A and B are shown apart, each in its own frame.
Chain A
Amino acid sequence: MAQPLVKKDDDRDDEVDYSPFLGIEKGAVLQEARVFNDPQLDPRRCSQVITKLLYLLNQGETFTKVEATEVFFAVTKLFQSRDMGLRRMVYVIIKELSPSADEVIIVTSSLMKDMTSKTDMYRANAIRVLCRITDGTLLTQIERYLKQAIVDKNPVVASAALVSGIHLLQTNPEIVKRWSNEVQEAVQSRAALVQFHALALLHQIRQNDRLAVNKLVSSLTRGSVRSPLAQCLLIRYTSQVIRESTNDTQTGDRPFYDFLEGCLRHKAEMVIFEAARAITELNGVTSRELTPAITVLQLFLSSSKPVLRFAAVRTLNKVAMSHPTAVTNCNIDMESLISDQNRSIATLAITTLLKTGNESSVDRLMKQITNFMSDIADEFKIVVVDAIRSLCLKFPLKHRSLMNFLSNILREEGGFEYKKAIVDSIVILIRDIPEAKESGLLHLCEFIEDCEFTYLSTQILHFLGIEGPKTSDPSKYIRYIYNRVHLENATVRAGAVSTLAKFGAMVDGLKPRIFVLLRRCLFDNDDEVRDRATLYLNTLGGDGAVVETDEGVKEFLFGSLDVPLVNLENSLKNYAFDINSVPKDVKTQPLAEKKATSKKPTGLGAPPPGPPSTVDAYEKLLSSIPEFASFGKLFKSSAPVELTEAETEYAVNVVKHIFDGHVVFQYNCRNTIPEQLLENVTVIVDASEAEEFAEVDSKPLRQLPYDSPGQTFVAFEKPEGVSAVGKFSNMLRFIVKEVDPSTGEAEDDGVEDEYQLEDLELVAADYMLKVGVSNFRNAWESMGVDFEHVDEYGLGPRDSLAEAVNAVINLLGMQPCEGTEVIPPNSRSHTCLLSGVYIGNVKVLVRLQFGLDGPKDVAMKLAVRSEDGTVSDAIHEIVASG
């Protein structure tokens, strides 16, 4: 008898997939759920069925609406049972079923009863469930109980109410904000978690009130916060306060720094780490402030716990980017982490060492990285690539081994982001280290031989077209490029054709061979490829004669497209267009977008797209007015400038339209008085402070009814092509007529009236179009030094470097290039690249170098290159007079 029993047991053990839920089936479980309706409830059985239902949901099974409703109603019956274990399962499944609003009503009374029960566990759980499924209307009914619960002497109940409050704050902030007295009291609780939850809620209630947060932080940093979690929160809030408060540079003391430093001696590692990290992330942290934080992180590096080592090395890695010398003390500990079992830790250790180490250790570190590159995830590989790139820029002599490393990993498996990071790095190295150019280009050529990403192939081909012809032996690249024409998809083939043409244009010796290759492309089966080949054959003079490529062709092939792509796209949608009619104006982009695109130095990145411009609309409007039609092409239209305060009787703003020899002011008027009708509206402009301008025409507005916008125009003549500036004072003149509000009819007689508007200024920036270039360095070099004008300026004391940079950008009204308008925090110097088109269609490039001179004084070196010497001088005048 014993024999088979043992055997059976063995069977069970052998069965790998043994599970009490083996063969579980939704339909059957839903049938089983009928036991919930039994008059005599069996709590144990019911608990089991709920567990099965939860298991099904957990495995990703979904219930139909009908099924869910049926289960929910059955579950509500279980409130009759007094079995505590069952009740707990009921709470959990109600949360999982997330019933709809009309179903919630069924359980509300049961839950409200539990919420006022004497049993703590019921109160706590009922609060959590009720707050989870409730809506605003019910909340006002139970608010009283929740406020009591927050200060309940049982910590579980208090925590449940506080955490529910944190979630409810998202949907019903006005209600939760009324609880702040109770929450304040709970912050003083002796229970660790209650303190944590109360602090989190209190801060969220007050987070928009800087003063209140400040007060909260200063009182708590002095008192004793018991819970480590709450202490971590307090450290975060303190860092926020530090970030927002101005640093007292006189004494060099940072408010609350002592508190952060004190936390480094806390007994919980969690708190020590939070404080150390907060210190390393302080704005403009000094090495004196850093030292204690680095010391505790260094101790963590040799911990037996991987999590601790990881946290420490990750933080030190970030510190090494801005303060490499502060981390060098940890180098010995870092070295031992290179062989860490956890590859994430090893990678972070190596990349940190790459940033802090010296030239002699590079080769050894490279060897170690190569060993485990294949084991780590793409995210970390990108970290390594970034580290190598900056290392190579730091030690250009090491470019050979580093470039080899990059080309090796380029050949291995990897996703798009990773490959792009490698290619970008190689491109940056080629640009910045002349000796690395030839080997780098060859590596890229080899890569496109076997590259699965069309985007990367075309970008590399484009780059080859620019850099390849300038090398000592351009012919060796032709084979790689022409292979693309045979083996790739149409997009890459078209790119390859363009690249071939560029070689032909730049290297006269190669021309005949290029012509042969291009002619073969005429038989390609793709339209774009054939079209390009034909176009290039014609522009390069493909009749076989070896002639010097003329400048126009070079400009066509290499010049950057000076219209933003979005504008071009809009014009293309209208199909028939002339390239000269595409507006050249780039609208200022929202800051967030700029940040995102300028986060990393991109080697191949295109300038970010801007929203479509309104210039089209203006141009249409102006050309429809016969008086202005003779002014020629609209050069630029400014953003509207308000000439009245908000909420006045008449709202007026002005748009400045700049033509070559004229300026038109477009006054957009709005009448905000329902009882008035304005007629014959004009703006009387006094140009006595703008000597070079003479009024030539004005176009009054016949009628301006209530709340419907209208425009009146005034045109001035000015010397052609000159950026005349001046100040204009404006007076709105009109005839006012009373309107009967009941009938909407105006009286016949009106009264003449005037309304003073604010002054309007025409500044130099109005003559500058924001036009980006895709590759500033190329554009700068091709512009040449003929009309270069360099000078230095002292900008005096400024709030920050960023403020100074923005002021100059706004003064000049030019387009920042390559993300250089973003200034990394704590930098003491910055280079900003600007480009634009000045009136008269003169391209202008500006290189601004800023440096901090003393604590606040900003000095600036301004280098301008343009196609016209007088324009270069004019730019300097703008800066000198601004």
Chain B
Amino acid sequence: MSGFFLSGNSCPAVKNILILDSEGKRVAVKYYSDEWPTNSAKLAFEKSLFGRTLKSNARTEAEITIFDSNIVIYKFVQDLHFFITGGDDENELLLATVLQGLFDAIALRLRNTIDKREALENLDVIFLCIDEVVDQGMILETDANAIAGKVAIQNMDASATLSEQTISQALASAREHLTKTLLK
């Protein structure tokens, strides 16, 4: 993993993506760089970053700071704090685009109610979104619709092979489908 960061290439790289709650506790985090080798190093980074940015108003527009020789761009919504970290010579606007892409994709998937409870209840969606935005530090996709589209689950494969299912499986799947539509 570190090779991508060490190779001295000029490719934009993301060092981590963090989603913390209003007390600085983890909702979902993903580290791509080896700069924070242990869990305690990661927690220390999150704690001081959270403390540093807590007072700022990053609700309408994303905010930015330099922290431990890294560029950190962050955006808050309700009780969630989103962060993205890159090297200190990274193009700030490029990192902001990645964060915005992730943020909007999550908003699309959660139908615009982004708060901690909603995020935790749909944590699988959050993990999948992060997985589709950055792959081992390399930017994978920045367009929110594309990310949300990839995360959306159209289970066409299952319906195509309906005949192979047993009656009870078909019933279960139908029931599930129904509850899903009702919940929407």
Contact = CB atoms under 8 A, between A and B. Distances in A.
Interface of A: 18-21, 40, 42, 44, 47, 50-51, 54-55, 58-60, 62, 82-85, 88-89, 91-92, 95, 119, 121, 128, 132, 156, 159-160, 163-164, 166-167, 170-171, 192-193, 196-197, 200, 203-204, 207, 228-229, 232-233, 236-237, 240, 269-270, 273-274, 277, 304-308, 310-311, 314, 341-342, 344, 377, 379-380
A203 B42 CA distance: 32
Contacts of A269: 93
12 contacts: A19-B117, A58-B29, A170-B7, A200-B138, A237-B10, A269-B93, A273-B93, A307-B92, A307-B93, A344-B65, A377-B52, A377-B66
A661 to B, nearest CB: 52
Nearest to B95: A307
A761 to B, nearest CB: 39
Nearest to B93: A270
Contacts of B57: 341
B145 to A, nearest CB: 12
Given A167-B3, A236-B10, A306-B62, A379 B69 contact: yes
A20 B140 CA distance: 30
A370 to B, nearest CB: 20
**Quick one: which of B12, B52, B62, B73 has the most chain A CB within 10 A?**
B12
A304 B62 CA distance: 10
A19 B26 CA distance: 12
A33 B117 CA distance: 24
B93 A21 contact: no
A21 B116 CA distance: 12
Contacts of A83: 155, 158
Contacts of A307: 61-64, 73, 92-93, 96
B23 to A, nearest CB: 9
Given A128-B135, A207-B9, A51 B127 contact: yes
A204 B92 contact: no
B9 A311 contact: no
The 9 A-B residue pairs whose C-beta atoms are closest, nearest first, are A170-B3, A60-B39, A311-B92, A85-B153, A236-B10, A270-B93, A307-B96, A51-B124, A310-B64
Given A55-B123, A229-B139, A84 B155 contact: yes
Contacts of A193: 140-143, 146
B50 interface: no
Q: Quick one: which of B73, B117, B123, B168 has the most chain A CB within 10 A?
A: B123
A92 B93 contact: no
B128 interface: yes
Contact of B63 (A167, A207, A342): A342
B138 A82 contact: no
A47 B124 contact: yes
Interface residues on B, range: 35 or more
A167 B136 contact: yes
A736 to B, nearest CB: 50
A166 B4 contact: yes
Interface string B145-170: 01000110111111001000000110
Contacts of B12: 229, 232-233
A166 B11 contact: yes
A136 B39 CA distance: 30
B56 interface: yes
B66 A344 contact: yes
B91 interface: yes
B54 interface: no
B43 interface: yes
Given A55-B123, A204-B9, A270-B93, A84 B142 contact: no
Contact of A84 (B67, B140, B153): B153
B56 A58 contact: no
A102 to B, nearest CB: 21
Of B11, B28, B117, which is in contact with the most chain A CB atoms at under 10 Å from its CB? B11
Interface in B72-128: 73, 91-94, 96-97, 116-117, 120-121, 123-124, 127-128
Given A20-B120, A163-B138, A82 B42 contact: no
A92 B150 contact: no
Contact of A18 (B10, B97, B117): B117
Max chain A C-beta neighbours (<10 A), residue from B28, B66, B121, B150: B66
A60 B43 contact: yes
Contact of B161 (A42, A82, A171, A229): A82
Contacts of A377: 52, 65-67
A159 B141 contact: yes
Contacts of B26: 58-60
B176 interface: yes
A538 B120 CA distance: 76
Contacts of A167: 3-4, 135-136, 138
Given A89-B127, A171-B3, A270-B93, 12 more contacts: A58-B29, A83-B155, A89-B128, A92-B127, A121-B150, A156-B150, A170-B3, A233-B10, A233-B12, A240-B10, A306-B61, A344-B64
A89 B151 CA distance: 11
Contacts of A232: 12, 91, 94
Nearest to B151: A88
Contacts of A18: 117
A18 B22 CA distance: 13
Contact of B64 (A55, A92, A119, A342): A342
B48 to A, nearest CB: 10
Contacts of A342: 56, 63-65
A673 to B, nearest CB: 43
A776 B39 CA distance: 47
Contacts of A314: 92
B11 A233 contact: yes
A92 B4 contact: no
A380 B56 contact: no
B11 A40 contact: no
Contacts of B61: 304-307
Contacts of A55: 123
Contacts of B176: 44
Given A51-B127, A277-B91, A19 B3 contact: no
B11 A60 contact: no
B93 A311 contact: yes
B102 to A, nearest CB: 14
B140 A163 contact: yes
A229 B94 contact: yes
B141 A84 contact: no
Contact of A54 (B73, B123, B150, B158): B123
A45 B21 CA distance: 26
A128 to B, nearest CB: 6
A50 B123 CA distance: 11
Contacts of A84: 153-158
A160 B28 CA distance: 23
A342 B156 CA distance: 48
A47 B176 CA distance: 14
B180 to A, nearest CB: 10
A20 B121 contact: yes
A132 B117 CA distance: 32
Contacts of B128: 88-89, 92
Q: Counting chain A CB atoms within 10 Å of each CB, which of B43, B91, B143 scores highest? A: B91
Contact of B11 (A20, A204, A306): A204
Given A92-B128, A163-B140, A379-B69, A82 B120 contact: no
A47 B122 CA distance: 11
Interface in B3-34: 3-4, 7, 9-12, 26, 28-29
A40 B167 CA distance: 12
Nearest to A95: B131
A299 B140 CA distance: 30
Given A51-B124, A54-B127, A85-B155, A305 B62 contact: yes
Contacts of A85: 124, 153, 155
A82 B157 contact: yes
A59 B21 CA distance: 13
A119 B150 CA distance: 12
Count chain B CB atoms within 10 A of each CB in A40, A89, A196 and give the residue with the most: A196
